[in-house]
Every structure is written in C-alpha cells, then in structure tokens.
Structure 1
Amino acid sequence: MVTAVSSKRESTLDFFPLTVEFQEKFYATGKIPGGYFKREGRPTNNATLTARLLDRPVRPLFPEGYRFETQIVATVLSYDGTFPVSTLATIGASAALHISDIPFNGPTCGVQIARAGGQFILNPSNQQLEASDMDVIVAGTPNGILMVEGELKFVSEAVALDALKAATESFKPVFAAIEELRKLTGSKAKRPFTPYKVDEAFDKEVRAFLTPKINAALRIRVKQERYAAADAAKKEADEKFVKTVTDKDTAALRKKDLGMIVENLKYEVARAMILDDKVRIDGRDMKTVRAISNEVGLLPRAHGSGVFTRGETQVLGTVTLGTGDDEQMIDSLMGMEKRKFLLHYNFPPFSVGETGRMGGQSRREIGHGNLAERALKPILPDFEKFPYTIRVVSEVLESNGSSSMGTVCSGILALLDAGVPIKGNVAGIAMGLIKEGDKFAVLSDILGDEDHLGDMDFKVAGTREGITALQMDLKIDSVSLEVMETALAQAKEGRLHIISEMEKVISKPRGEISQYAPRIETIKIKPEKVREVIGSGGKVIKGIIEQTGVKIDIEDDGTINIASADPEMTKKAIAIINQIIAEAEVGKVYKGKVVRLMDFGAFVEIMPGTQGLVHISELSNERVRQVSDVVNEGDDIDVKVLDIDRAGRIKLSHKAALPQ
C-alpha cells in the first residue's frame, strides 16, 4: 500500500519539504519481530534504502518552486519472500501521486533487471538474483531514464547500456496501467500551482549589479575562497538593495528575492561557462580528473588504513578484521540474515566547513555507504579462503564532490594495506551533466557545485575488467541513452586513470595481515564429530576456549575456524580438537586412564570420549583372579588396540603393551 499526501498550506522553507517512508510490517510475512518489545521499531537500513529508491525518481517531477509539505508512505502488508518489493513500492508511489490532485509531472516506472546465462531477466526472483551478474533498478518516465541504482559483477559498459535499454522498453505496460487507474479513479484535476516570481524590475536591477561579481567568483578555483567571494557579492547587494528599504515587509520580501536571484545567477553563469566557454568552475576541461594523492599504513593499530585525496575531497578508509562472532545479525522480512562484510560511511559537518549535530546516521550516510559497499563486494575473497568478518569504515575528512566514490578508493587502499586477498582493484568516479536544449556536456569527476548546479549525478565504480556499481540521479525530466553511453565511456576513462594513480602507491595486498588482527586457522572434521567437539551444553568447546583464549566457530558441515592473535594458542586449540576427534587405530599403543572396573575386565579411556575394554585375560601375562589385583580406577596404563568391531567397540590389551 502506498499513500501520498500534500498539505494545502505553503511552508516557509526555501526547499521542497518531501518525506518518503517505507514501513516493513512483520505480520506481512507471518512473523513476530525480535527484540524485547516485539514490535517494529526504527526503520532498518534496508527500509531506509528502499525509501530513498522511492524518493529519487519522483522528486525531480514536482513543479519548480513547490513548497508544500508532501509525504509518501509505502507499507508492506503482505510478502511471500519470492520477489523484492522495492520496485512495487516505486510503481505504487508513482501511481498514488498520478491519481491524486498533487502537482506531479508523472507517471514514473521502476523495474529491476538481472542477467543470467547472458539473458536479461526483468523483476527477477530472489533465487534468480543469486545466479545473476547484475542487480540493477532503473526508473524513468515515458521520455527516458530518471534513476539508476545497482551492483554488477565486472560487467562491461556495453552490457550495462543494453540492460538500461531493456529496462526502459519494459516501462510501457506499467505506464498504460497507471493511466488506466487514473481514469478509473475519475481523472482528478491537478491543483493549480503558480511558482513565486521575483519582481521583474528588482530582478533586472540586481542582476546588472551582481552578474559580473558572481561571474568572477565562480572562476575562483579554491572552494572556500569561491564561496567567500560569492557571499561578499551578496552582502554588497544586500547593503545596496535591501537595507535601504524602510518598510519591514517589503525589506523581508526583497531579502528573499535577493537570495533567489543569487542562486539563479550561480546556476546560469556556471552552466554558460561549461556549455559556451568550455571551461569548468575550477578551470578543468570536461574529462580531466582532479589531482590525486594516496597514502597507506597511517594508523599503526588499525588492521589496514588508507587515505585517498582527489582535489578538495579527502577520505580516510580503515579495515578491521574479525571472526564469526563479529557478523551482523539482521532480523528482516526475509528472516534472519548474516552479514560478513560491513561498510560504514561517516560524513561529519567539519568536512564541508560547517558545524552541525553529530551522532547517529543520516539517510544520506546510509545511502552513500550502501553504494560503496556494493562497489567493493564483488572483489572480496571467498569466505572459505579468507574466513574473516570484514568491516570498512570511511571517514570523510574534506568534501568537494563525490565522497562516496572517495570511500570506494580509500576502502581499496585500506583492504590492500590490511593484506586482504581481494580479486581486483576498484575505483569510482562521479559524472555530471549540463543540458540546455540539444546542447549537453558530460563532466568527469564533478565538484560539489557542479553537482548542485548541474542536471545529473552519475556514479560509476569498477575494476579494469568491468563495472561493480552504478548510481544515477537526475534533476531534469529524463536523460537519453545517447547521454548515458557518453557518460559510461567517459567514466571508464576516468576510472582507469584513478586506478593507475592508486596503484603507484600500492597495487597488491600485503603479504600478511596485521600483527594486531586475529589469525584464523581453518580445519575440517567429520560432521558427525561436531557434537563431540561442542560437548553437552557446550561444555567441551567452552573448556577449550578457557584453556587457550581463542575464538572458535563451528559449522554443521564440520568446518572449524579458530582465531587468536597468539599463534601458539591456536596450535594448542587445534591439538586439543584433534585429540577429541581422533579415532583409535588397530595396533597402536595408547596411554589411557582406567575409568571403570567390571568382573570381566576394565574400561580404559584412551582419548577424550573414547573408551575400550581390556578383558581380564588381557591385563597380564600371568593368570589374573580379580581385575583389581592389577589395576584400579584412575590408574594410567599403556594399552594396545587389538580390534575395532563394526559397532565401533574397541578391544584393548594391557599385556600386549608390556615390554617383552
């Protein structure tokens, strides 16, 4: 179920107050939520990411200047676990807006596309996604693509473009269904909306004064100096055109108008510089990537660290290696999920020279972290070969454009520094677009201002072999496949350049992991022996951990991962486990402990949990009248294995182990 509500009272905010919520109801899958309260709480990361997928395609299609509080709420009422619900929610949001009276230039459509065996699959099941080399969500209007989000496994630009084409061709039936729904609901007329316009005379006068000053400010290459020059120009205009107005209401209106004029001038001047003068704000051409520098091994106690700097964007990446105990457990609609790879992205306010609230994660941080995580996932080693839980943390130290792609690059540097045997080196780049009519320019490695004043933010990450993650957002109605093809080709060129720069510092994983990281040894035992290693109520395994201080993870298939920073303790734990699972060998002599006396012989434990019988006739070379004449409970004696029958019963001899 998706609902859309828009207030009829205009807000005083200077931006469009749109909020989108995605609610996961556990009753939809017949489950009771975990935790103490047994009810749904704050949105999960997955719910937040899905809400962003709903928000991004519809936001650009509201009228410019629309300032009425609007809220879209998607609620999962029933879910069979077969197909992902995100695309259904995307279509539902579009339909709810399209049939309402809310001003909205829709409809939009969202589709998920995968590829298996060289064939594209539209809206795949979760099972089909597991066998696919891509998982991409594409949204658009009847005019073209509007949003892209997804992960890929080293897919070429040509295949990615073919996937986008296939996705857009599938939109038509959905648009027809939404239009039919609108007719069935009465084709409600949209609310009249007229955007606010600045007084023409005031606009003309202020523009004549400010245009040369804003033009000069936008050609300053250092971000903070550029901002200071633009602010100084605005302050001059305020002194000249606003503070001279005596009427308070008129002065307040003029102040608002001045802010709009300044933003409009920045928008127009920056775009004209690119389209007409062929020069960008910082003086680069359309394809040049800013200067790059890289460092690794900065933090002595972190298991891996790297700093990636590109222009005025700088990101510190760290890697921590953990054991199975460190896996993240998530109670989701799909059931309990385990995550062995975590990427956390932090964007503190000081990174953009501002103050602000610290603590907690914003939706933006969750979204950017998810994009970087998707970019790095395909190159991680198989868990069977490298049985670690891996956590990458991104600390954005300075930001002026695409800190999420900086996170990808710093993450790779940190992984290499940590000695993680990754499958390839990944870099990411953010592409921009300036489009006026038929004229357009695709920009490589965009600045923050180019993102703000441009029409597209298109992030592409991948290795030399292919793409691993895509994300695109537009501020205009849609973009053609021609533009997408140009952007993908230009992004590949920039990505390869960035990888080359990174590899000048470190190109392969270090030969060994950090001395402070746990060493994990993996051994394999027979599945039927797992019970013996664990023991009743976990008694045996707890004893091993107490003796050695190691961490032990046991899988049902008999795989045992033993982790410790002390190699000697790891060896000791392995030796204990080998003793527990050891099986008696016929003809071998063991030192055992007498555990029970019977009239016909003595039971001797030759290894933990393994006992055999020494018949009274096998206790001595002499005739024995009573078992207790030779041995007593608790005695340590040497015994030889004579035979093991089909039932696993062990026949022992003490006299055969005695010196001849």
Structure 2
Amino acid sequence: MTIHTNGETYQLNYVAKQATSALWYSYQGCVLLASVMVDKSPIEGDFLPLSVHFSQRAYAIGRIPGGFHKREGKLSEFETLTSRLIDRSLRPLFPKDYAYPTQITLLVLSHDQQSDLQVCALHAAANALYLANIGVDQNVSAVRIAKIAHTVITNPSVSQLQQSSLDLYIAGTKNALLMVEMCAQEDMAEEELLALLKSAQDHIARTCAQFERDFTPHKHPPSLVLRPSLVSDTSLEALIKEHFHAQVLDVMAQMAKSEREADFLNLAQYILNALQERGHFYALDHVQRTLKHYIHQSIRSQILDNQARLDGRGYGDVRPISIETNVLPHCHASALFTRGHTQALVVCTLGGANDARSQESLDSKTPLKERFMFDYNFLPFSVGESAPLSAPSRRELGHGNLAKRALQGSLTNKEQTIRLVSEILESNGSSSMASVCGGSLALCAAGVDVRALIAGVAMGLIVQGNRHAVLSDISALEDMQGDMDFKIAGSASGVVALQMDTKTQGLSLALFKDILTQAKQARISILAIMQKAREAIVLNPQVLPTSESLIVPPKKIAAIIGVGGRTIKEIVERFGVAIDLDKSSGAVHITGNQRKDVQEAKAYILEITQAQPYALYEVLEVEVKKIADFGVFVRLPRGGDALLHKSCLQKHGLSMESFQENQRLQCQISAIHDSGKIDVSLA
C-alpha cells in the first residue's frame, strides 16, 4: 500500500513486518525507515517508557565511516539531538498511565543532502506511531521556517538554511503547538515571532488534516489493553491531610530548594509507620503514589488559589542573582553565575583554527569545523547525588546545544575559535539558562567582542480547568509539577533562542503571547544585573592569548612549512606560538600567550617569505575572482583574496551584473579583520 500526501510517499506493509508498525518514507531523494516496536508486557511505575533512536547510515550519501572500525558507532550529536526533538514532540500525546515499553527507530537510508532530515524524520515517526494504534490518536506535523534577507521561507532546503539568519522549528497537532525550537542570528521581536508561529500553526493544521484523511483508513486494529488511569485513594489522602499536612508543607518547602526527592521518600516511610501505629495498613508504594498525588494537587492549588509560589515569589519574580567574573586566575576567562539554588561556573577558552571541533554530517561531503563550542556538564553533587561521572547524557548534549545556539549570534567575529564549558555546581531548575547568562559574561571576561549580552530564563505553566498561571524562572519542583518548560534567551531587543516542551496536548497562541510578554520582563531584569557585572570585569591579560594574521602569496606557504615541516616546527618551538596556514588563500594566523612572541614570529615569517603585508587604506589593482549573492571576491596582487561587498557597489550605483570574472579593478583596502580576512571598496 502506497500513500502520496503532502509531497511525501509512504509505503505500508513493505518492510520490517515483525515490528508493531513500520513504514518506508520517501521525500525527493531522502529515504527513511520508521518503525514502532511495543513490548506487550507493561511495566510498573509512573513514567512513560518511550525511547526514540534516530540513526544515520554513512552509505546514505555513499560514504564509508571514519575511525578505526569503519562502521557506525554511538550516536553523533546531531543524531542525539534529533532523537530528543522527536521524543519531545510525541511524548505529550501518549495516554496517561501508558505503561508499555515503546521504541521508535528511524534509519536514514538515503539522503540528497538538501532535504530537512528532522522534518522528514518527525513525519515518518509520527505517522508510524499513528498507524500502530496504541492510544496516540492525533496526527503530528512539523515545519521549519527560515529567513534570508528579510524573506521568510517555509521548509527551506539545507543550502537555504545555511544562509538563513533564523532557524525556527515547530511541531504540533491541528489544534495546538507541541514543541518549538528556535535559533536566530539577530534579535527577533516577540510580535514578529508570534506572527511566524501563527503561520506555522496554520501550515501544521492543514498538513495534519491531510494526514488524518490519508492514514486513518489504514490504522492497525487495537492490540493493547490500556490500563485505566489510577484513581487516587481519597480516604488515604484525607488521612494525610488530617494528620500530616504540616509535614507535607515542610517537605514541599525543602523540595522547592533542591531537585532531590530524598525528603519525599523519608516522609512516605514516616507516614506509613505512623498510620500502622494507628491501625491503618498500606503498602509503601501505595503511600508513595497517594502522597505524590496529594503533593501535586497541593502545589498546583496553592499557586492558583493563593497566587503565590512555594518560595514566596510572585508569578513574575526572578530568584536572587549574584555574579562573579574571572574567579579562576589561570583560565582565559570565567563567570560564576548563581540564581537562587542554581549555580553555573562557565569557563571560556580561546584557541586557534586547529582547535576547532570536526564533525561529520550527512549534509556535507567534508567534515564541518565547529569554531564555537559549548559543553554543559551536569555534576551529580549539584543535586546531592553520589553517582559517578560519566559520558554526557542526551540531556547534557541538549542543554549545551541550546546554550550554544543562544550565544553564537552575539559573536561579532565568527572566525574565532572559542570553547565554553558550563559546570553545574548546584541545580534547582533552569541550569541551562544559567549557563547562557554565565556564558555571555564569560565571553566578555575573555575580551571577546559581543554585540549584546544574552540572558536566559525558564518559564513554567500551571493549567487547571479555565485557570492558568505563567511562572517566571521556575524551580525544579515547578518544572516537575507544572505543565510546561519554556526556555527563552535573548537580549534587551528581542529573542535569539528558545525551546518549548509541554506535558499537555499543546499550547495555544494566546498562551504563547502571555508567556513571551512575561519572559521579556524577566529577561530585562536579569540583563540589568548582568550589565553591572560586565562593567566590573577585570581581564586576565597575563593569560589571555594574542594573535596576528597576515597574507602571503600562496606559493610562499611552502617556505613557511619547510622540508618535512622543519621550518614551521622551528618557528613554533622558538617563539612558543601556534600557527594556522591556509594554502589556498595564503592566510597565516599566529596565536600565542605573549604579544611580543607573536609579533616576533610574524616578523620572522615575513622575512623568510619576503612578503610585504597589506596596509589599511592601501590602493591596489585587483582581479575579479568570483561573483556571489552578497558581493564580489577579488584576487589581491601579492596573494590572497578580499571581498567587495554589494553594499559598496550599491553606493556607486552598480549591481552584480556590472562585473565579470577576471575583470581588473582599482580598489582600496577598507578593513583587515583579526582572522586575516580583508575587505575592499572601490577606489
């Protein structure tokens, strides 16, 4: 059976017939296999046993995997993040008390390097899950929105997305939005963001309606007996309220300060023993389950009825903040950001081009160089646990990626190699947003030029009937007992990144507006405190690296390297510097801890290459090399390339069509960047 819908092709009963549900998905040159496997034996517990695994096969683009074993190994960061994205989009739709272990597997079998794998994968997974007929009765769709030169593009290709200043990914049903992720290189006003979300919701509603018409006739017969929702023991709850309410309030206050549940478990055991002395006999797991329900209802009722939170804050209040910078004397820069009972130590390290992280991607034929890195470490002692340190979890990778996306747009020099590491020293909610705040200040403490400070805040939501409460800067308890975790990062001018997860069946756009408005108020108050800390920063000049860049004729690069690399090795050892070379452009980048050593190394290289460096405002005769959308690349007479930006052409009343390759022009050097790149203007 083959279904053609929304430009996609789904083949049913074609492969993987032993799975609960499977389909063969095709879109243009992209082919995925999506399968759903359900264990027929339910588990005990109050969590949803769902796991999602998105895996790319190297043969999908005709590549043999790198590494010693030459085969796919653990999931890459992109695979892990995509698995999380699909999980977070589908998890809210499962029935309450669903207890059957369920695994969704997505294999990328072929990729045209232009299709959006995350949109394709979600559609394949969601429709395979809908066909399985295991209690998920709503169709799900996704859309990605890009923005190129003020033009909004729906579902862009990979190449279009690489040129975009916006990456907005939305998943939802025909009635509400389930999951949102956003990254912008420029600040986006809340009003513009809401307009884009409205257009995305309309697109998703149309797609979901089409999916429902096409797939409903082919749903599998029901194969699971869903257990009824557990009914709370009202008599036991009455006993808890009568005899132990004061102790419950104490535990709620303690839980508001930590992510630990040790106090809850101790209280459950205490109640069990006390009830037995009174002649009431219950199993411990029954007491725990009833106590958890009682606490859940008590917390939500207190917030909605009293309009006050457990720690005494109002809905829009942010916890007390303290900031210290450059607390580590031998690190390039550091920031210790504390908000309530959440504390992040963010350390910044500056490096050279060779320090960039290499990552393989199916979207690129060659490994990608990641110059801006953000690593997030959630240390067990931050929540009072004694677990051993281990490899980064999916959650840690997700939080690090969110912080990276929030901060990368604030960098004015995209060619710098920067690594930020956030060590979570104490956690009670919103540690990823504390990492964003600390990371923005750590960049400033390293002397990195940023266009604006970036602050992050996590928003929560309590919905009960027709009433709701939006909470700013949520604690772990409010996250756990609430209905939403909405992380929003931005400057004073607008939003640059966000990530929304919900435990409900989705959020309306009206709620989105309230959340964004309240989040802006919280963000502004945090930024005011951060600005004061920025003004008090004292740099670590004795440990900060310095750099120099120059351009030599590309044929002179061999002279710098020397026979068998002897010359460059001698320069590195003699002056104590690191040297990055670009053989095609002739760019030479020198980095070291002492400015004197870097300048001496630069002078030595100029001497052995007998190259005359370019000077600012120097007038040269150049040759047109390549014409791009944003300007004209030209060859410089003493080696290297430069960019003649289209804005310069427009000032002279010229267009791209006015130039041809190999045409000669008179230009003046208008800028020499730290990375060695050169801009020119018409002389």
TM-score, with structure 1 as normaliser: 0.82
Contact 2:106–2:121, Cα closer than 8 Å, also in 1: yes
Which one of 517, 529, 535 corresponds to residue 501 of structure 1? 529
The one-character-per-residue Cα deviations of 1:150-196 (angstroms, maximum 9, x if unpaired) are 21121111111112111111113431343244245355336331235
Contact 1:133 1:155 in 2 (8 A): no
Which of 185, 191, 198 aligns to 2:224? It is 191
Q: Is the 8 A contact 2:256 2:476 kept in 1?
A: no
Match among 98, 115, 140 for residue 108 of structure 1? 140
What is the aligned partner in structure 1 of residue 302 from structure 2? 273
Q: Is 1:426 aligned to residue 459 of structure 2?
A: no
Instruction: Tell me the secondary structure at the aligned position of residue 115 of structure 1.
Output: strand
Query: Map of 1:209-248 to 2, 5 A cutoff?
Result: 209=242, 210-211=244-245, 213-215=247-249, 217-218=251-252, 223=257, 230-231=264-265, 233-241=267-275
How far apart, CA to CA, are the structure 1 residues paired with 2:260 and 2:121? Answer: 42
Q: 1:266 to 1:408 in 2, by over 3 A?
A: same
Select the residue among 160, 163, 170 that pairs with 1:128: 160
Mapped contact 2:258–2:383 kept (Cα < 8 A): no
Cα deviations across residues 502-557 of structure 1 (Å, max 9, x unaligned)?
A: 111224876x6642233211112233433443345544433433443321111221
Supply the distance in 2 between the matched residues of 1:206 and 1:85 (Cα, whole angstroms).
Answer: 53
Give, in angstroms, the shift of residue 243 of structure 1. Answer: 8.1
C-alpha separation in 2, matches of 1:399 and 1:497? 21
Residues 173, 205 of structure 2: 8 Å contact kept = no
Q: Secondary structure, in 3 states, of the residue corresponding to 2:40?
A: strand
Q: Specify which of 371, 378, 382 is matched with residue 351 of structure 1.
A: 382
In structure 2, do the counterparts of structure 1 residues 197 and 243 end up closer, same or farther at CA, with 3 Å as the change threshold? farther
Indicate the SS of the match to 1:40. Answer: coil
Which residue among 307, 319, 326 is the counterpart of 1:297?
326
Task: Pick one of 551, 554, 559 that aligns with 2:587.
Answer: 559
1:321 maps to 2:350: yes
The one of 595, 604, 608 equivalent to 1:580 is: 608
- The two structures have a TM-score, normalised by structure 2, of 0.80
- Mapped contact 2:258–2:428 kept (Cα < 8 A): no
Cross-structure match for 1:452: 480
Counterpart residue number, 1:158: 191
> Using the alignment, how far apart are the partners of 1:494 and 1:267 within structure 2?
26
Residue 76 (str. 1) matches residue 108 (str. 2): yes
Bigger drift between 82-91 and 215-224 goes to 215-224
SS at match of 2:187: strand
Give 1:200 deviation, angstroms.
4.2
The whole-number CA distance in structure 2 between the counterparts of 1:125 and 1:283 is 48
* RMSD (Å) for aligned C-alpha atoms: 2.4
Query: Distance between the aligned counterparts of 2:435 and 2:43, measured in 1?
Result: 36
**Does the Cα contact within 8 Å between 2:133 and 2:219 map onto a contact in 1?**
no
Distance 1:445 1:577, change over 3 A: same
Distance 1:457 1:2 in 2: 28
SS of structure 1 residue aligned to 2:309:
coil
DSSP-derived class of the 2:105 partner: strand
Does the Cα contact within 8 Å between 1:419 and 1:513 map onto a contact in 2? no
Question: Residue 11 of structure 1: which of 34, 40, 43 is its match?
Answer: 43
Where structure 2 has 5 or more consecutive residues not aligned to the other structure, the ranges are: 1-32, 613-683
Listed one character per residue, the Cα deviations across residues 385-424 of structure 1 (whole Å, up to 9, x for unaligned) are: xxx4211110111111100000011112211111111221
8 Å contact from structure 2 (residues 174, 206) kept in 1: no
Which amino acid is the alignment partner of residue 526 of structure 1?
A: P
Correspondence 1:410 to 2:438: yes
Q: The residue matched to 1:218 in structure 2 has which SS?
A: helix
Q: CA deviation at 1:221?
A: 8.5
Match of 1:495, SS?
helix
Identity of matched residues, %: 38
Match for residue 370 of structure 1 among 394, 397, 401: 401
For the pair shown, the structure with the greater C-alpha radius of gyration is: 1
Pair 1:2 & 2:34 matched? yes
1:58 counterpart residue number: 90
1:151 corresponds to which letter in structure 2?
A: C
Are the equivalent residues in 2 in contact too, given 1:99–1:188 (CA < 8 A)?
no
Distance 2:40 2:535 in 1: 58
Q: Which residue of 2 aligns with 1:31?
A: 63
| In structure 1, C-alpha distance between the alignment counterparts of 2:191 and 2:462, rounded to whole Å | 23
> What does 1:554-633 correspond to in 2, within 5 Å?
554-555=581-582, 556-582=584-610
Q: 1:160 to 1:293 in 2, by over 3 A?
A: same
Q: How far apart are residue 106 of structure 1 and its match?
A: 2.3
Change (3 A) 1:110 1:245: farther
CA distance in 2, matches of 1:557, 1:225: 53
SS of equivalent to 1:106: coil
Q: Please state how far the C-alpha of 1:211 moved relative to its aligned partner.
A: 4.7
| Paired amino acid for 2:405 | R
Distance apart, 1:562 and its partner CA: 0.7
- Residues 1:561 and 1:204: Cα distance change in structure 2 (over 3 Å): closer
Aligned to 2:124: 92
Are residue 515 (structure 1) and residue 509 (structure 2) matched? no
Residue number among 519, 527, 534 corresponding to 2:554 in the alignment: 527
CA contact (8 A) 2:145 2:169 kept: yes
> In the alignment, which residue of structure 2 is the partner of 1:284?
313
1:544 equivalent to 2:540? Answer no
Number of the residue aligned with 1:361: 392
Listed one character per residue, the Cα deviations across residues 198-248 of structure 1 (whole Å, up to 9, x for unaligned) are 5746545544444554345435696259967655542332113468889xx
Contact 1:206–1:237 (8 Å) recurs in 2 = no
1:491 paired residue number = 519
Q: Deviations over 1:589-612 (max 9, x none)?
A: xxxxxxxxxxxxxxxxxxxxxxxx
Structure 1 unaligned residues grouped into runs of 5+:
585-660
